[in-house]
Amino acid sequence: MTGYHAGPIARLLSVFMILGVASCASQDPTDQTLTPEEIVDQEIIELRTRAEQGDTGAQYLLGWRFINARGVEKDDIEAVRWWTQAADQGNLSAQLTLAVRYDNGEGVAQDQAEAVKWYLQAAEQGYVAAQVITGGRYANGRGVERDDVMAVEWYRKAAEQGNIRAQYSLGVMYEAGQGVSQDSVQAYLWYDLAASLPSVEQELSIKNRDIVASQMTPEDLAEAQRLIREWRGGNKR
């Protein structure tokens, strides 16, 4: 059984600040007569005002100010409060930040169920890495009741967007008949797609694909190869 490993989580944080900053409008030019300390104080006042008015980008950035003690005293509780407000309104960056922090127990008590809650909300917005993680959590029963059908659903959403880890995982599910009827054609298809590019899963995908192929009829193998050509033809950039 395969599930999610640490890779996508490590990559999530690399996009959070970009997403958060993009949702906040740029500030007016700063008055050059202000001292650096006064400039920071003014930024915090403006950021807090916008956050209190419901601006999710400002809420998200204010959370990072509290975590990093930039212009305010470090306060993990206050950071989580602002991130939660933004996440509840659908801010993707805040949802991912909360998911990772609850997952790892960073600034909050570790809570796998709470982590899955936020990964799921990000996945529902179409964020591929969160979809892979969510599939893995359902497959392994970590933070949520194990559900192979739901695991397949989320792996498929990510796999159809070209995610290699999800394609490999979907191949495993079809080969084993977990969450779906056992299907060598589909297993071969997803393993082959996962094997097409260098990745952590490439070697295993090739090995598993070849094992599946050795057990297939010529007709089934031809059908799998037809589906692969069709899939690649429909996904050309």
Using one digit for the tens of pLDDT, what is the confidence trace for 102-119? 999 998 999 999 999 999
Q: What is the pLDDT of residue 52?
A: 95
Q: Is the pLDDT of residue 29 over 60?
A: no
5: confidence class by pLDDT, cuts 50, 70, 90: very low
Q: Is the dihedral of CA 69, 72, 77, 83 positive or negative?
A: negative
Specify the amino acid at residue 188: Y
Q: Nearest 5 degrees, angle CA 172-CA 231-CA 235?
A: 115
Q: How far is CA 174 from CA 120, 122, 170, 189, 194, in A?
A: 23, 26, 6, 10, 14
The mean pLDDT of the chain is 89
pTM (2 d.p.)? 0.82
Residue pair 21/55 in contact by the 8 Å Cβ criterion:
no
Fold of 119-237: 1.25.40
Rounded Cα gap, residues 77 and 152, in angstroms: 36
